[in-house]
Amino acid sequence: MTGSKMPDAYIGREQAYVKHTILKTYLQRLFMIVGQGKETVINYVDCFSGPWKEGDERLSDTSIGVSLEQMAKCQQSLKDSFGREIKFRALFIEKDPVAFAKLQKFLSQQPYSGIEVECLNGDYTEHLGDIVSWCGGHFTFFFVDPTGWQNVVSAKTMLPLLKLDKAEFLINLMYDFVNRFIGLEKHTDDMIELFGDVPVFEDENPEARREILLALYRGNLGKYYQGRTAYVSIEKPGKSRVHYCLVYLTPHARGIDVFKTQAEGMEIVQRITQQEYRLRQQLQQSYTADMFGDDIEVPLSDDEYHDNRMMAKQYLLKRLSEEPTLIEWH
């Protein structure tokens, strides 16, 4: 995904593209690293799998399709490059009956025959015992990507999973929603469950406020999870406002380094995606306004603006000089 044009299936779901980019690139690194160690079984659990707004029958634009593809590729690479026969298992959980029916149908005919797949219908919080049992003590990566925020991603709710010996997590904290409801009395209990206490602010700017909230949330998880945490922010399409934060938990310092590296790549994707979104909006508005004018401007095709890094490069090259320029001094 990185560095390429965003697939049409993600138009209108730009934030999902950015999220799936980091999921894909991180799973690639994670599975290859773990697969070269002592583990013979690698588990993947998607607690809110959907599919919800898939754009094609192959579910290539969903976490289901992304994860299965990476498991299959890494399984083959581990065998070819290192002679490692790793069993990959996946558990997909979905509460909505319509989405679950789609999930069942897809998994019954999914193309990756070497991956063992199972699915559960219902709220993942009601299946915690089943999930722990299914993990079987093997290394497990949990993707927790809810559409809501109340309780489902709190430390108290996730406690049985957080206490597993060999587990890593990528949790979607719906930051924009959480941030809106801070200070409302009816959500006091929700805030205490998420953060361990009711957050109190003075006159912090948005970035400082976010840092405080994420520190509280990660600290609350850390009471029960023996490991390290990091996070990356994903913005609303076309806006400089954080939509949600992906919080990562790992027991290994190397895992944090790998995650941060992949997150840096995701920032590039996010910048490109944001520019594509804004450009599409501008073209649509311009085309509508000029349809009946003297000079009709025809919108550019997707291929003509697929990667705004070239625009940035051209901009910078025009401003380079032969003389040295002082950029910053500490």
Q: Quick: pLDDT tens for 189-227.
A: 999 999 998 898 888 999 999 999 999 999 999 999 999
- Structural domains in the chain, CATH included, are 8-175+214-277 (3.40.50)
Using CA atoms, how far apart are residues 77 and 148, in angstroms rounded to an integer? 36
Q: Are 266 and 17 in contact (CB under 8 A)?
A: no
Question: What is the reported pLDDT for 2?
Answer: 46
DSSP secondary-structure letter at 296?
A: P
Q: Nearest to residue 146, comparing CAs of 170, 182, 120, 121?
A: 170
Q: What is the pLDDT of residues 39-85, one digit of tens each?
A: 999 999 999 998 877 666 778 788 999 999 999 999 999 999 999 99
Q: Is the pLDDT of residue 3 over 50?
A: no
DSSP secondary-structure letter at 306?
A: S
| pLDDT-above-70 percentage for the chain | 75
Question: What is the reported pLDDT for 18?
Answer: 73
CA 318 from centre of chain: 36
Using CA atoms, how far apart are residues 10 and 33, in angstroms rounded to an integer? 29
Q: What is the pLDDT of residues 112-165, one digit of tens each?
A: 989 999 999 999 999 999 999 999 999 999 999 998 887 899 999 999 999 999
Question: What is the reported pLDDT for 50?
Answer: 85
Question: What is the reported pLDDT for 97?
Answer: 95
Rank 117-126, 277-286, 303-312 by mean pLDDT and report only the highest: 117-126
Total-model pTM: 0.79
- How many other C-beta atoms lie within 10 A of the C-beta of residue 75? 21
Question: What is the reported pLDDT for 148?
Answer: 81
